[in-house]
Amino acid sequence: MDDWVYAPGSGFLYRLDPRAKLIFVIAVGGYLALESASHLLLLVLAILHILGLLSKGTRSRLLPLWKTMWPLLITIILLGSLRWRAEDALWGVGPITVTRGSIWTAVGLGARIAGLSLVLSLLLWTTDPGDAVAGLTRLGVPFELGFPMVMALEYVVTYKRTFYQILEAQQSRGLTLSRGNPVRMARAYIPVLVPLLITALRSVDSLALALQSRGFASGRKRTSRRVLRLRRGDWVFLAVTACALAGLAQV
């Protein structure tokens, strides 16, 4: 999840208005979720990689993202390739078979998962959380909903770091994580999960008090120092995206 943290950088995606990027993510994400043709899913995945390579700040983060995703993708492709007593089987063990069509379908499913992860990552890598909240608000999402959405992503990363800090501290005190028996493994993590839960409850309480002191639920119209303007480049980007998705939908 550290690969989803925003980091300042320069490049094409960084200069886009957050609203343009949000619309892009919604449009591309919807297409990836609905498209069933494996070759088109792979094409969109390749285009997203090209967009990631255009910005210096995102170029170096593509490989770590793939290192995180590859175990899941391989599992999806392997399990998705299995069929029960298929007639045109390329290979099989007993009733479990693998066909050319099942492999291609599983590859498309993996491309869909990878594409959804990549398009969301491009948004999170290149958009400041404050700008993301402002963009959601300008698109009509209530601030009371947009702010928790962005904060949730930030806190997932924060709690992951806290988890590993507690784990290292407990291991330095002699904690041994056993392997093999799932029940024994779950019990071994109790000294880590209890402090993590206490830390989470304390941070949530502090955050609630901070938001309350700033009138989070006051119901009044909010002002912002962030002034968002859709420039010519944003409109061109959205137009190209719309034309590309319309063209792919006709294939």
pLDDT (tens digit per residue) in 150-199:
777 777 778 888 888 888 888 888 887 766 667 777 788 888 889 889 88
130 — pLDDT class (breaks 50, 70, 90): confident
The mean pLDDT of 212-216, rounded to a whole number, is 74
Which of 52, 54, 32 is CA-nearest to residue 109?
32
Express as a percent the part of the chain with pLDDT over 70: 92
The pTM score is 0.77
Q: Which residues contact 36 (CB under 8 A, 6 or more apart)?
A: 108
Longest CA span, the chain: 67
Q: Which of 60, 26, 30 is nearest to 139 (CA)?
A: 26
Are residues 42 and 73 in contact, defined by beta-carbon separation less than 8 angstroms? no
In whole numbers, what is the pLDDT of the chain averaged over residues?
84
For residue 19, is pLDDT > 70? yes
Q: What is the pLDDT of residue 3?
A: 57
**Whole-number Å distance between alpha carbons of 226 and 243:** 30
Q: Given this model, what pLDDT does residue 173 score?
A: 85
Instruction: Give me the residue label for tokens 């009371």.
Output: 144
Tokens of 119: 């398009």
Q: Is 247 left (phi over 0), alpha (psi -120 to 50) or beta?
A: alpha
